[in-house]
Structure formats: structure tokens, C-alpha cells
Structure 1
Amino acid sequence: MEASRQEVLRRLKEAADLFISNPRSSLLIPEIRTNLGYAIPEARNVEDVAAIPGRITCAFGKSFYCMPPQFGASDHIARVILTAMKHDQAVRSAIDLRYEESIVKSLPSEELCVFNRNVETEESRSVERHTMNLMVDFCYKLWDGKSHKFIIDEGDVGKEKTLFVLGKDPVDVVKISLSLLDLI
């Protein structure tokens, strides 16, 4: 188990370094900054998902992060990954990116789900930190259990519109994300 956790941290750091090494990566970072996470196999809770403490951010067009990956560092991206893993144990990594219309228009519709927070009931809105779980569950129901790569969270009042990329490994997720730069 410890070897698996160390491999997750190593691979996540490799992916984060790959992301920030691209001089244009700051174009993908939303105002809320970027979460990048990776779960151990058969993850059950937030402590089984590693992420970048404080997220990946940018200033003056340069992307960076301040601390190495840690387990339990992001409840937000962990909930996305853990919910995806309920549907497909192979999906162990995710990143959230800035919503960019030119990117979204170019994504294959069969690999994309758009989540509008209006589907939330008053009851689900009252449950703290429930939206990410609801979003991923909603998309997997639309996808009929198949795994896909992209989820758009259309946001809400005070909630930024974002694009999630899901995958099996953080390096693959980052490579997909960086390939989207060609669409801006």
C-alpha cells in the first residue's frame, strides 16, 4: 500500500511539472486556479486521493505551484475522482481547467457532458459539497456507464464555469489538457 501511495505522489508531481513547464499552460488556469489529482487504486475517501496543496496557479503568464503533491490536499478534485471511480475504477485522475468556448466547440460531443447546476434540487443544494458528486453521477448516467474525458460545469452565481478532464493517469490527463492549447 505504501509503495502504491509513493508511486501516486511521484506520478502526480511528474504531471504537475509537465503542466507548468508548458509556457502557455497559464491560459488553461481558471480564476479559481487548477486542481490536479490522482487516486490510489480502489480509493475510498479523500485521504486516498493526492492533489497539489493550494492548487496550480499563475501570475504574469507563468504557471506554478508552491508545495509538492499530498494526500488529502483537495476535497474538490477528490470528490470528482472518487465519484468517477464508483462508475469506472480505471478513472483515477482529473484536472479542472478554464472554460474556453473555442476549446469546447472542438471537443467530440460523444466524449463531452455538460452539467447545468439547475438540475440540483433545493435538497441537494443544501448538502455541503454535494455538487461535484452530483455532476459526475449525472454525466455517467448520460454516458450510460461508459467512461469519457470531458465534463463542463456550467457554473452558477459565484461559481466559475470550468472544464474537467478525466483519465486513468495524471500525465495522460495533463497531456490531453495541454493539447487543448492548440484550440485557443
Structure 2
Amino acid sequence: MQFVEEIVVDEFLPTVRSLLASNLRDRGLTQSEVADVLGISQSAVSKYAHGDVTINDRIADDDRVRTLVEELGRGLSAGDISPVQALIELEVLVRDLESGGDLLAQLHEEAVPELAEHGSGFRVHDPESERRASERVLSSVRKGLSVLETTSGFAALIPAVGSNLVACTPDAEDVDDVAGVPGRIFDVKGRATVPGAPEFGVSEHVARVLLAARRHGSAASAAVNIRYEPELVDELVELGHVAAEFDESGDVSSSVGAAIEDESDATVLYQTGGMGIEPLIYVLGPDAQSVANTIRSCT
């Protein structure tokens, strides 16, 4: 009897640690620094560095594993990613690789062939679950925030009310299904400041705009708000986006819905303000990282 968790511990973990240790050493970190970052002993780092630990080539050669190792190595060495954030990203990857038919699921079924012969009503590796969907959303927002924090000029696009980068679960119905930044993103002395890690249910305004757009046919799953300038709208349109204006002085859900119904492909929604209402642009996209990249491209 072997559980998939044993595959993770015996195959995935040593392989990823070895790849990360090598990546960090190549970036100039000492064995002691690598040990601190990975939470392991220096002797373990030495074993990884000298190839004294058996790795799984199928895991090591997986493009998703190699891409994430490269991202984490870069972020950990620069201090842009904390060890806890790296752990969360790896947890998300593990769950993806455990899903039906994917790499860890294949390794598990090869180790326990009887699983494939089990009754059709039983699924060991559930490809989708609410928890997994939520983790993907949070991971997307974290990656998007990393892009925005390192985007030169983003702080200048933050409106007086602050910005928020949000993303929702596939079946989102209300703000509790939308993850965002608690307290919003503000410009502090010319620098975009994110006050905390993304959470669900902490964005009221941007979440409502995203949900309203989705209810009226938008395929977007993420959004960010920035200050309004006609030139910014024009620039986004030049980048290939479809823009639509809405009136925020009335019911936001109805106004956004009407804008989407008029321009079903709209990925830029804007309102030009009014009495006590700051003019804003909302950029929509398939995920938080894509939205953040859109902002980067127009700064």
C-alpha cells in the first residue's frame, strides 16, 4: 500500500530541493544561505549539490517544475519571495500534478497498478475541488501582485481611493468568491505598497465590477482598477483591448452589465467620474497575472 503523499515525499520533494539548491548556488548563495532559505541542514545542501540524492528524472524534466524552480530561485535569491510564499507555490503545483492523469497521479498509479483497476465510481485523484480552485486563484493574485510591485510607473496609476487586483473562482457568485488585497494597494512616496497577502472576501468595489461583468457575459476572471485618463484608455485600445464606458453614479451592477451587453468583448471598463466619484479604469482579464502584465505594458 502506498499513498500519493509518499510519492511527494520520496520523489517530488528531493527532486525539487535538489533543483532549487542548485539554482540558488548558481545565483551565488552560500551553502549556509541555501540551507536557511530551504529550511534544511548544510549537510543536506551539500548532498544535493554533489548529486548524492536520487532525483526523479520525469519530475525534474517537467516544464512546470523547471519553470517554477527558476521563478522561485530568482525570487528567493533576490528577497522578492519569502520561503513561505515559495512553499505555497510548490503546494499549488503538487496539487496540480496530483490531479487525474497528471504526473504525480501517473507515478502513483504505476506504483500501485491496482488503482487503475478500481471500480469506476471511485476517483483517487480528483482533478478539481473547491480548495484547489481557491489555491489557484490566490496563486494567480500573488503572481500578479509581484508583477505590479516591480512595474516601474505603476504607483503613478494608483487612484486616490487605491487600487486592488482581484481574481475569482470559476463559479463565483459574490465577493466572498473573489480574492484581493486587504486594505487595497496605495502609492506611498512613489512606491506601490501592498499591505498584506491576498485573501477572499476583502475587496468590495473591484470585486463587484468583476462579478457584474461576468454575470452579463464577460469571460474575465480577474480585474484591477487604475486612475482614469483618456490617454490611458486610448493606449489600452491600441494594445488590442476593447473599451466600454459605464455610469458609476447609478447601480454599478446594472451600469457595468449594460456596458458589457453593448460591448461583449470589452476588457477595459471606465467611468469618467461625477459628484464625489473618482474617475476610474477597470482592466479585466483571464487571470490576475495577465491583468498585471497589461498594466505593465502601458506604463
Measured against the shorter chain, the TM-score band is 0.7 to 0.9
Are 1:158 and 2:269 counterparts? no
Q: Which residue does the alignment assign to 1:126?
A: none
Superposed CA offset, 1:1-35 (max 9, x none): 11110111111011011101113210110111101
Contact 1:94 1:170 in 2 (8 A): yes
Q: 1:168 aligns with which of 250, 264, 286?
A: 286
Instruction: Determine helix, strand or coil for the equivalent of 1:108.
Output: helix
Percent identity between matched residues is 28
- 86-95 or 146-155, which deviates more: 86-95
Instruction: Determine helix, strand or coil for the equivalent of 1:6.
Output: helix
Are 1:136 and 2:256 counterparts? yes
Q: Which residue does the alignment assign to 2:297?
A: 179
Structure 2 unmatched runs, 5+: 1-129
Q: Which residue does the alignment assign to 1:20?
A: 149
User: Do the aligned partners of residues 115 and 90 (structure 1) sit closer, same or farther apart at CA in structure 2, a change above 3 Å counting?
Assistant: closer
User: Do the aligned partners of residues 73 and 117 (structure 1) sit closer, same or farther apart at CA in structure 2, a change above 3 Å counting?
Assistant: closer
Superposed CA offset, 1:54-87 (max 9, x none): 1111111111111100000011111111111113
Instruction: Determine helix, strand or coil for the equivalent of 1:30.
Output: coil
Higher fraction of helix:
2
- Structure of greater relative contact order (alpha carbons < 8 Å, 6+ residues apart): 1
Matched ranges for 1:1-150 at <5 A: 1-88=130-217, 90-108=219-237, 111-117=242-248, 120=250, 130-131=251-252, 133-143=253-263, 146-150=264-268
Residue 98 of structure 1 deviates from its aligned partner by 0.8
Higher fraction of strand:
1
User: Do the aligned partners of residues 105 and 7 (structure 1) sit closer, same or farther apart at CA in structure 2, a change above 3 Å counting?
Assistant: closer
Superposed CA offset, 1:89-130 (max 9, x none): 631111100112321233439711122346x4xxxxxxxxx3
The runs of at least 4 aligned residues of structure 1 exceeding 3 Å deviation read none
Quick one: which amino acid aligns to residue 102 of structure 1? E
Contact 2:218 2:265 in 1 (8 A): no
Contact 2:223 2:288 in 1 (8 A): yes
**Greater Cα radius of gyration, structure 1 or 2:** 2
Distance across 1 between alignment mates of 2:266 and 2:134: 25
Quick one: which amino acid aligns to residue 246 of structure 2? F
Distance across 2 between alignment mates of 1:59 and 1:101: 25
Quick one: which amino acid aligns to residue 169 of structure 1? D
Q: Which residue does the alignment assign to 2:6?
A: none
TM-score, L = length of structure 2? 0.53
Q: Which residue does the alignment assign to 1:123?
A: none
Distance across 2 between alignment mates of 1:108 and 1:58: 25
Distance across 1 between alignment mates of 2:261 and 2:217: 12
Structure 1 unmatched runs, 5+: 121-129
Q: How many residues align?
A: 168
Instruction: Determine helix, strand or coil for the equivalent of 1:116.
Output: coil
Contact 1:41 1:89 in 2 (8 A): no
